[in-house]
Amino acid sequence: TQLLEQSPQFLSIQEGENLTVYCNSSSVFSSLQWYRQEPGEGPVLLVTVVTGGEVKKLKRLTFQFGDARKDSSLHITAAQPGDTGLYLCAGPNAGGTSYGKLTFGQGTILTVHP
Amino acid sequence: EPEVTQTPSHQVTQMGQEVILRCVPISNHLYFYWYRQILGQKVEFLVSFYNNEISEKSEIFDDQFSVERPDGSNFTLKIRSTKLEDSAMYFCASSLRGNVLTFGAGSRLTVL
């Protein structure tokens, strides 16, 4: 079974600070996805990283896929209160036939204080 | 923007009762999924559905669970005889090509 472990589980910072969230596995993933989930909502896809070493930027968010495709990170620059939420990483299960069979990490709860 | 809609948003039921959770996927999507999230735990895959049949299911998805696409728009999850441990948030998702999933807001099931 492929597992994804995220760290930290909780992150509480002040507006304007930078932060990094990590997603690690002992298994290789063909791709990894990052989602953001707000209370009362389902996960919303932020990005998919596919190539080892890939870096993708989405405004103040930078996503990186490890060279070995076993880990990923999400870096937020100058965090804002609107960034508050649950951040999840997920990857397709290698043993599955369905690309939509995703394994999720346990999530990082980010709180950005004004 | 197209979205996946789920009903009900919250259902409370007695142990042993049957529950049907409903989902309206995005209209041109071909792949459909159910996930669940028990409070404080990870989001877990339950089942995927394509071409009017189950394409994959997890070990959680036992004989008490079933899915249906009764018409061209709805996708339902039925739990025949609910247990306390079925209490969770259930998320429906759909995808056009099976790689990018759009999730609904979820249905919270509370079994008493």
> Does B105 sit within 8 Å of A40, measured CB to CB?
yes
Taking CA atoms, what residue in A is nearest to B58?
A101
Share the mean pLDDT of chain B: 94
CA distance B32 to B52: 10
Say whether B83 sits in a helix, a strand or coil: coil
N-to-C CA span, chain B: 37
| Element (DSSP H or E) covering residue A58 | strand A55-58
Sign of the C-alpha dihedral computed for residues A107, A112, B3 and B6 taken in this order: positive
pLDDT digits (tens, 9 = 90+) for B15-45: 999 999 999 999 999 999 999 999 989 999 9
Say whether B86 sits in a helix, a strand or coil: helix
> Does A103 sit within 8 Å of B48, measured CB to CB?
no
Of the candidates B80, B75, B74, B84, the residue with the CA atom closest to the CA atom of residue B61: B80
pLDDT at B24: 97
Higher local confidence (pLDDT), A86 or B100: A86
- The torsion defined by the Cα of B68, B72, B73 and B78, in degrees rounded to 10, comes to -10
Of the candidate ranges A1-5, A30-34, A64-68, A86-90, the one whose mean pLDDT is the lowest: A1-5
| Element (DSSP H or E) covering residue A64 | strand A61-65
CB atoms within 10 A of CB B72: 6
Asked if A57 is an interface residue toward chain B (Cβ–Cβ < 8 A), one would say: no
CA distance A92 to A102: 4
Q: Which residues on B lie below 8 Å from A100 (Cβ)? A: 31, 33, 48, 93, 95, 98-99, 101
DSSP state of B84: G
Residue B98 has pLDDT above 90, yes or no: no
Instruction: Please name the member of B4, B42, B55 whose beta carbon is closest to the beta carbon of A98.
Output: B55
> Does A104 sit within 8 Å of B56, measured CB to CB?
no
C-beta of residue A64 within 8 angstroms of C-beta of residue A72: yes
